[in-house]
Amino acid sequence: MLPEQREQAVASVPVGRMGTAAEVADCIVFLLSERSSHVTGQTLNVNGGAFMQ
């Protein structure tokens, strides 16, 4: 990604930064754990609010 493209992408994310692989992994770990045993039929958006409506 070109620096200009990255700046544009970051500007569109409400938290003001790109996510990390560790943040995505944390969500996956949660979904694989017993702590999510009552979660069904949900979409988990791990995007810093980039697609909020």
* All residues at 6 or more sequence positions from 23 whose CB lies less than 8 Å from its CB, including other chains: 46
With bands split at pLDDT 50, 70 and 90, how would you rate the model's confidence at 53? low
User: pLDDT value at position 21?
Assistant: 97
- Mean pLDDT over residues 37-48, rounded? 92
Q: CA 46 to CA 19: how far, in whole Å?
A: 8
With bands split at pLDDT 50, 70 and 90, how would you rate the model's confidence at 19? very high
**What pTM was estimated for this model as a whole?**
0.75
